[in-house]
Amino acid sequence: MAQNAESILNKSNAQVEDKKQFKAKRNGFKGMEISEIIFKVFAYFFITVFALICLYPFVYAISGALSGYSALYSGAVVVFPVDLQIDAFKVVFTDNGFWSAYSNTIVLTLFGTLYSMILSILGGYALSKKNLFGHKFFNFFLVFTMWFTAGMIPTYLNYIDTRTIFREIGITDDKWFVVVAMGIAAYNIILLRNAFEAVPSEIDEAARVDGANEFQIMAKVYVPMSKATIATVALFYGISRWNGYFWAKQTLDVTDAPLQVYIRNRVDQFSDPSYMDGWHEVYAPDSLMYGMIVCAIIPIVLIYPFIQKYFAAGVNIGGVKE
């Protein structure tokens, strides 16, 4: 009887405590200590300010693209457009070179991300297996490439030789060379390896008992259970491919150049005084550049919210190893 009474009393106290916590959450700051209220106010304040700072360049680019020549160069544009015009966007939408570079970027991003993910998943899965021959050596070798790199010139020569091999076997479209030559990143493989290592071994053993082979286990057990990390790594690769500039600039011809290279070439073009002689448009050259930048960033802005929910969980699972 005494034990029953004690258990009933404990349950009653727990219910009272739960009700207090529920009321505190429902009433916002009510029921909180002063220090906790101050911390939350400052936290929300700084997060809001940081978010506005990150958002402002994108807002300014839109306003700059829609503002008139004199308004933009006089510094009148701060947040909202001044002397509204859409001529800069009209020029962007009718620029065949811009959309050709856009299509090149889409090809490089889609196929490059797919290719990189296949290699990274295979590599991460293999390195997550303790019974892999040379397991420690291969893991150390992977991390070693993050500490010491060959350098810019050897890397450039390696890319040029790879492109030459592609042409010798009949692949003349250099976009595929960029897709293959810049396939994987060691950090992303480590994230996937750690995520795969977090999968309970009992599930792996159960799949083997049911007769599944390595590829089936990887595709039907490890990949579905590591969706957050896989989505995060795909986001890393996708953004890297979309924003790829330096090696594409060094190795690709103008016809195969991606969007970032095209925009940079246009910036250099507008920096030439001889090209700017006789400019009488209502929009400024910078407005045209801002218009291209806005059009270039739209796909990332549209896709990111759908992947963002996986981002924190993916980095945490793949980046922390017990």
pLDDT in tens, 240-266: 899 888 888 888 888 888 999 999 888
Q: Which is nearest to 181 in space by CA: 230, 239, 237, 247?
A: 247
CA 319 to chain centre: 16
CA–CA distance, 133 with 300 (Å, rounded to integer): 40
All domains in the chain, ordered by first residue = 2-73 (no CATH), 92-319 (1.10.3720.10)
pLDDT at residue 1 in the model: 46
The answer to whether residues 128 and 190 touch, using CB atoms and an 8 Å cutoff, is no
Does residue 124 surpass a pLDDT of 60? Answer: yes
231 touches 310 (CB < 8 A): yes
Q: Are 207 and 223 in contact (CB under 8 A)?
A: no
| The pair of three-digit structure tokens given for residue 128, joined into one six-digit string | 């997550």
CB contact at 8 A, 105 and 252? no
Tokens of 40: 């939350």
pLDDT tier for residue 136 given thresholds of 50, 70 and 90: confident
Cα 266 from chain centre: 25
Question: What is d(CA 259, CA 264) in angstroms, rounded to the nearest whole number?
Answer: 9
Q: How confident is the model at residue 14 (pLDDT cuts 50, 70, 90)?
A: low
Q: Taking a C-beta distance cutoff of 8 angstroms, is the pair 260, 268 a contact?
A: no
Phi, psi of 96 (to 5 degrees): -65, -35
Mean pLDDT of the residues in the chain? 81
Q: Do 166 and 176 touch, CB atoms closer than 8 A?
A: yes
9 pLDDT tier (thresholds 50, 70, 90): very low
Is residue 205 within 8 Å of 242, Cβ to Cβ? no
Residue 8: predicted pLDDT = 47
What local confidence, expressed as pLDDT, does residue 317 receive? 52
Task: Measure the CA–CA gap between 258 and 242, rounded to whole angstroms.
Answer: 8
pTM: 0.76
Contact 249, 257 (CB under 8 A): yes
Q: What is the pLDDT of residues 92-116, one digit of tens each?
A: 999 899 999 999 999 999 999 999 9
297-307 confidence digits (pLDDT tens): 888 888 877 77
Chain segment 191-203, per-residue pLDDT in tens: 899 888 888 888 8
pLDDT of residue 313: 58
Q: What is the rounded average pLDDT of the residues 207-226?
A: 87
Judge whether 285 and 276 are in contact, CB under 8 Å: yes
* Residue among 228, 215, 233 nearest 312 (CA): 228
What number is the average pLDDT over the span 264-272?
A: 84
**b/e string for 68-100 if b means 16 or more Cβ within 10 A?**
bbebbeeeebeeebbeebebbbebbeebeebeb
